[in-house]
């Protein structure tokens, strides 16, 4: 279920999870993703790491956002999300981290499967 993935050309491990995740789900280079999100940030006069910026970038890229129910805020994990979503391409947000999920597998630089997701974007 966990797949190590790091499309960052310098193999950085922190601070770019949004860019890494989008790059993986959209199957495009880290640099192209970085440029796209950064350009969106410039349009919005905000930092590319801002939730409003990368959320807007994803909406422009035909992703649909869905919130997760708060019925068990500490027991529903990314692993659970993967089991519930065996098909499709998603970006799953935890509030402090973003993870790429494709066909029931999650792609990250570390095993983030125990993290608790808050919402996700589905690629249409």
Range of the domain at 18: 11-123
Least confident segment among 11-15, 20-24, 97-101: 11-15
The span from the CA of 98 to the CA of 19, in Å, is 9
SS3 content of the chain, % helix, strand, coil (to 5): 35, 20, 45
Note whether residue 4 is domain-resident: no
The span from the CA of 59 to the CA of 41, in Å, is 14
Domain count, the chain: 1
Q: At what angle do helices 51-60 and 17-26 cross, to 10 degrees?
A: 10
Contact 117, 68 (CB under 8 A): yes
pLDDT at 107: 98
Contact 78, 106 (CB under 8 A): yes
Position with higher pLDDT, 111 vs 13: 111
Question: Which pair of tokens denotes residue 9?
Answer: 């050309």
- Mean pLDDT, the chain, whole residue set: 95
Note whether residue 1 is domain-resident: no
Give 11's pLDDT tier (boundaries 50, 70, 90).
Answer: very high
Neighbours of 103 (CB within 10 A): 11
pLDDT at 69 over 90: no
Question: Whole-model pTM?
Answer: 0.94
Contact 30, 94 (CB under 8 A): no
Note whether residue 107 is domain-resident: yes
Note whether residue 51 is domain-resident: yes
Note whether residue 2 is domain-resident: no
The 10s digit of each residue's pLDDT in 14-58 is 889 999 999 999 999 999 999 999 999 999 999 998 999 999 999
pLDDT at 71: 76
């Amino acid at each position: 279920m966990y797949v190590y993935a790091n499309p960052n050309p310098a193999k950085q491990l922190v601070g770019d999870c949004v860019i890494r995740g989008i790059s993986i789900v959209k199957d495009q280079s880290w640099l192209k993703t970085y440029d796209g999100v950064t350009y969106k940030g410039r349009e919005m006069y905000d930092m590319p790491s801002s939730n409003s910026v990368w959320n807007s970038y994803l909406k422009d890229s035909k992703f649909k956002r869905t919130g997760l129910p708060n019925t068990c805020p500490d027991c529903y994990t990314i692993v659970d999300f993967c089991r519930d979503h065996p098909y499709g391409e998603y970006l799953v947000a935890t509030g402090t981290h973003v993870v790429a999920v494709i066909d029931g597998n999650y792609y990250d630089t570390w095993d983030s499967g125990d993290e608790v997701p808050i919402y996700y974007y589905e690629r249409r």
